[in-house]
């Protein structure tokens, strides 16, 4: 069968590589961030490292494992820093995200075997075969919320001659995936225990609906309810003699509360490495919100002919829009950002303090995860200097 446009000519790759080379080229002097073509994702490396260390330290102090979710950054560069800061392993949303991260870490010279948790259930024979193959290259844990999913994976592992570990995914109120009662949890656990190529180690209970609740008291009450539900399933499994060594879940918005509540043995937060406007709005000065905004979308003013606003080069294609508009971080004379089409945005400014053509404007993304997925690179900076560039290794890997 012939394919169109799926050849290995790699035009896209060449264009992207040239773009990076044009900035970093033969570096005989420091590269200024102004040299980065916009719109671009810019990461302050020191703030990134501080965020990574802060979460690692919190988990370490509480005696809880940390398995950061890579869905937020999709980058082997960031994952490696998280592992080197003491993470037990990584969480991945999708199989191809995990495949890309495992390969990216190896390419990066990371020679330790990584423990990977797939936090979404797999369906069907082909994905199960891919997972069984991936299990050659990492210690693979997979959540399941249906005994048939356990069987599919068990058959694939037997064919490939590899092993994996099952966690029962429990719906703690989000209503997205996960068993909804104890009988279903027991059925999943039993199928895993029965399968030669599988181990069973515990449960996942991720409360996505909790993460952005405004007000710590409200967030805590709702988190407690979800964790009580999860505890109930753990108790039932233990009463039926299943050994539970891992109870995983939590995100940036509940991490501090999860540690205090004490049901989870493992945290899987993602956004804390970068943060975003949605999280800053929800968490305010709460302890869960004490992470720095390390990620910005940098844009350039491309037209400045009107009093009261200018046009910048970042529009709908440059960011996720599900959480509304980004917040303008600098310069001080810039006002608000408004969507202005696919390729452009409108930034307001006081008529007397106009922005000028060519000026840079930095935005705080409204929602970091799907914004990052729109870019090939993270430009790494210290102050005004570009100190490197990291690939968004698993960009688009959502299969
Ligand atoms: C299963 C699961 N775990 C953890 C996370 C990380 O959450 P956050 O980015 O809010 O820290 C997510 C995010 O959507 C998720 O889906």
Are residues 356 and 304 in contact, defined by beta-carbon separation less than 8 angstroms?
A: yes
Q: Is the CB of 211 under 6 A from ligand 1?
A: yes
| 278 CA from centroid of ligand 1 (Å) | 14
Q: Give residue 2's pLDDT.
A: 56
pLDDT score recorded for residue 314? 98
Residue 51 CB–ligand 1 contact under 6 Å: no
Residue identifier of the C-alpha nearest atom 7 of ligand 1: 251
For ligand 1, the distance from its centroid to the CA atom of residue 69, given in whole angstroms, is: 6
Distance 267 CA to ligand 1 centre (A): 10
- Local structure of 296: helix, strand or coil: strand
Q: Tell me, in angstroms, the distance from the centre of ligand 1 to residue 268's CA.
A: 7
At 7 the pLDDT is 58
Read off the tokens for 56: 């690692």
CA-based nearest residue to 254, from 216, 285, 291, 228:
216
CA distances from 134 to 99, 141, 147, 158, 164 (A): 7, 11, 21, 14, 10
- Shortest CA distance to 188 belongs to which of 180, 197, 196, 179? 179
Question: Is the C-beta atom of 265 inside 6 A of ligand 1?
Answer: no
160, 129 contact by CB (below 8 A):
yes
CA of 126 to the centre of ligand 1 (A): 25
DSSP string, 162-219: --EEEEEEB-SSS-SSSBSSHHHHHHHHHHHHH-TTEEEEEEEE--TTTTT-SSHHHH
Pocket flag, ligand 1, residue 300 (CB < 6 Å): no
Distance 211 CA to ligand 1 centre (A): 9
CA-atom Rg of the chain in angstroms: 23
Residue pLDDT, tens place only, 114-148: 999 999 999 999 999 999 999 999 999 999 999 99
Q: Are 132 and 159 in contact (CB under 8 A)?
A: yes
- 54 CA distance to ligand 1 centroid (A)? 18
What pLDDT, in 10s, does the model give residues 270-317? Answer: 999 999 999 999 999 999 999 999 999 999 999 999 999 999 999 999
Q: How many CB atoms lie within 10 A of CB 240?
A: 12
CA angle 211, 252, 207 (to 5 degrees): 40
Structure tokens given for 382: 């210290």
- For residue 285, the Cα-to-chain-centroid distance in whole angstroms is 22
The answer, yes or no, to whether any atom of ligand 1 lies below 6 A from the CB of 119, is yes
Q: Indicate left, alpha or beta for 80 from its phi (over 0: left) and psi (-120 to 50: alpha).
A: alpha
Q: Is the minimum distance from the CB of 204 to ligand 1 under 6 angstroms?
A: no
State the pairing for strand pair 266-267/246-249: parallel
Three-state secondary structure call for residue 63: coil
Pocket test for ligand 1, best of 270, 275, 279, 295 (most atoms within 8 A of CB): 270
How far is the centre of ligand 1, averaged over its atoms, from the C-alpha of 389 (Å)? 25
Residue 272 CA: nearest ligand 1 atom is 11
Low-confidence spans in the chain with pLDDT less than 50: none
Q: How far is CA 331 from CA 48, 107, 159, 301, in A?
A: 21, 38, 59, 12
252 C-beta closer than 6 A to ligand 1: yes
pTM as predicted: 0.96
Check residue 16 and give its pLDDT.
84
Q: Which residue has the tokens 């797999």?
A: 122
Mutate to test the pocket of ligand 1, among 66, 67, 68, 72 (most ligand atoms within 8 A of CB): 72
Quick one: how far is CA 163 from the chain centroid?
Answer: 26
Phi then psi dihedrals of residue 118, to 5 deg: -85, 115
Length of the chain: 399
């Amino acid at each position: 069968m012939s394919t169109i446009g799926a050849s290995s000519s790699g035009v896209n790759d060449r264009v992207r590589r040239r773009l990076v080379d044009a900035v970093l080229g033969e570096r005989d002097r420091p590269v200024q961030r102004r040299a980065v073509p916009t719109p671009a994702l810019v990461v302050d490396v020191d703030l990134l490292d501080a965020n990574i260390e802060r979460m690692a330290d919190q988990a370490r102090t509480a005696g809880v494992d940390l398995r950061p979710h890579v869905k937020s950054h999709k980058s082997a560069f960031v994952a490696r820093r998280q592992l080197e800061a003491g993470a037990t392993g990584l969480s991945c949303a999708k199989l191809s995200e995990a495949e890309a991260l495992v390969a990216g870490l190896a390419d990066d010279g990371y020679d330790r075997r990584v423990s990977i948790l797939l936090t979404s259930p797999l369906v069907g024979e082909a994905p199960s075969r891919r997972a069984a193959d991936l299990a050659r290259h990492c210690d693979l844990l997979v959540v399941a919320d249906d005994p048939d999913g356990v069987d599919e994976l068990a058959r694939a592992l037997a064919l490939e001659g590899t092993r994996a570990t099952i966690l029962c995914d429990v719906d703690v109120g989000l209503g997205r995936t996960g068993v909804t009662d104890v009988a279903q949890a027991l059925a999943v656990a039993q199928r895993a225990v029965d399968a030669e190529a599988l181990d069973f180690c515990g449960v996942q209970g991720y409360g996505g609906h909790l993460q952005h609740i405004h007000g710590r008291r409200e967030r805590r009450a709702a988190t407690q309810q979800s964790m009580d539900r999860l505890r109930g399933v753990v108790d039932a499994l233990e009463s039926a003699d299943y050994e539970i060594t891992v109870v995983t879940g939590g995100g940036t918005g509940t991490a501090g509360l999860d540690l205090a509540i004490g049901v989870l043995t493992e945290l899987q937060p993602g956004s804390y490495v970068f943060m975003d406007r949605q999280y800053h709005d929800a968490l305010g000065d709460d302890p869960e919100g004490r992470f720095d905004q390390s990620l910005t979308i940098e844009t350039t003013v491309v037209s400045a002919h009107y009093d009261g606003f200018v046009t910048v080069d970042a529009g709908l294609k440059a960011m996720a829009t599900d959480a509304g508009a980004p917040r303008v971080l600098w310069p001080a004379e810039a006002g608000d950002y408004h969507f202005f089409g696919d390729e452009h945005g409108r930034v307001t400014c006081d008529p007397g303090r106009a922005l000028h053509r060519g000026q840079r404007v930095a935005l705080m993304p409204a929602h970091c995860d799907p914004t990052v997925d729109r870019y090939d690179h993270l430009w790494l900076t210290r102050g005004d200097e570009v100190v490197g560039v990291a690939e968004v290794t698993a960009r688009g890997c959502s299969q």
